[in-house]
Every structure is written in C-alpha cells, then in structure tokens.
Amino acid sequence: MSAAAPPLPFEASRLPAHLAVIMDGNGRWAEARGLPRAAGHRAGTEGVNRVVRWCREWGLRHLTLYAFSEQNWGRPEEEVGALMSLLAEYVREQRAEILARRIRLRVIGDDLAPNGAGRLPGWVRAPLRALVEESARNEGMTLTLALSYGGREELARAARLLAEDVAAGRLRPEEVGEGAVRARLYAPDLPDPDLVLRTSGERRLSNFLLWQSAYAELCFLDCAWPELTAEELLAALQQFAARERRFGLTGAQARAARAAP
C-alpha cells in the first residue's frame, strides 16, 4: 500500500461509517493513453491500495469496493483472465499489510456465498477464502470486496431463500418483511452504506447494493478510478459531512433525533 493519508479537514465523527465505491474507468483510462485495458486494471489495483490505506488511517469503519460484477463475466476472456490474475496478486501481496493493519476482509457475491455458483477460479478462490478466514477476528476497518456480485442477483437469491423457507414451513408468509429479506442477503450484518461514490463520470449504480443503498448519499466524480487523489476523496467525504440525512423525516425531526441522548 502507498504513502500515508493527508489529515482530515473535519472531525472524524463526521465521516461516513460505511463508504461504498464503484471503481469505474480503469479500461477507459488505459485506452485514452494508448495502453491495453489490462494496464488500466493494474493501475486500478494500485488505486485500491491507496484508498484502503487512506480510509484505514482516517478511521472509516467500513469500506466496500465493487471489484467485479456478475455482468463482468461477459467481458472478453483475456480481460477477465487479467482481472482474476490481479485479484490473486492483490490477495498475495497485500495479505501482510491487511493483517498488520488489523483490517477484516470480507467478500460479498455469489461465488463465496453458501451454495454459490463458484465461477471464480480455484486458484483465486482458495487464497481469498484463506485471507477472509485469517482476518475474521480483526477489529480495524472492514474491507468488503464485491466479487461476482449483482444487486438484482442478490435480491433474487433472497427471494428464493424466502420461498424455500415458506414452502418448508419454517416461515409464515406474514413474517416476510424487511428484516426477513435482510437476513437472507450476502452479509446481513454489514451496515448499509452511508455514501456511495462512483468515479469516471458515470451517474448510475450499475446493479450495486440496490437494497442497501436505499438511503445512501450518492457522489459522482469525473476522474477515472486510477486518477483518484486523496484531495478528491476528501472533498467527497466533506460534501457528505455537510449533507442533512432525514430518512423520510422533516429536517426539524431529523435534527431533534440526532440531538436526543
């Protein structure tokens, strides 16, 4: 991982507890420079290293990165292979840093879920599972990688599990509510993201954390992921800190709720 983070320009208590990031623009960043797309993905991995260190040093509790979507399996075989190699390399090279900084690594997506489809190559899945297990008791920042992940696919899986439980008599239809759905998500104990950030100028969620992002603040940056600087990320975090989150209440009600002991 890279150099130390610059200091926060505001109180750490104003940070989002959970930052989720759509790391977009690696391929286009490379193409704009006459480089192969794989070079952009490698630069994107270096960006991951920087952002993970910054967020850990700033004191964020949860960071979730959209690393590989379910739809990404449809990309050219050569590009998918390069991404898998970079993922295995990341796990191997960052293992010591993750453990030394007391980071807990988690994975959401069909591949590492119980009864998952298992599309990740075994030579990627095995070291990834091992690091997830090895870091499970770490109490620093939780780093969650969304791999072979899709929000619609996650919700369809939850609906299927609910239907199976109702059919088996383990759950009554009237018990199917928000809590029952959440309990069947990939990581039901992971708090909802407070801020979802996307790079590269695109302004959409692209099937990322659709259930969990219902009340998230959204921030879209024009820079490609490999170009993201600490100053740009800090500006996004400062913008979040200035927003009033009401969760369906009036502003006066929300302020009163925050002020209550």
Distance from C-alpha of 249 to C-alpha of 257, rounded to nearest angstrom: 10
Positions of E strands within the chain: 18-22, 62-69, 104-108, 142-149, 195-198, 217-220
What phi and psi values does residue 106 have, to the nearest 5 degrees? -130, 160
Q: Which one from 24, 110, 111, 194 is the annotated catalytic residue?
A: 24
CB atoms within 10 A of CB 247: 9
Check if 138 is active-site. Answer: no
Q: Hey, CA dihedral for 134, 135, 139, 140, is it positive or negative?
A: positive
Let me know: does 207 contact 214? Beta carbons within 8 Å.
no
Respond yes or no: is residue 24 known to be catalytic.
Answer: yes
**Structure tokens of 261?**
């002991």
Catalytic residue numbers read 24, 72
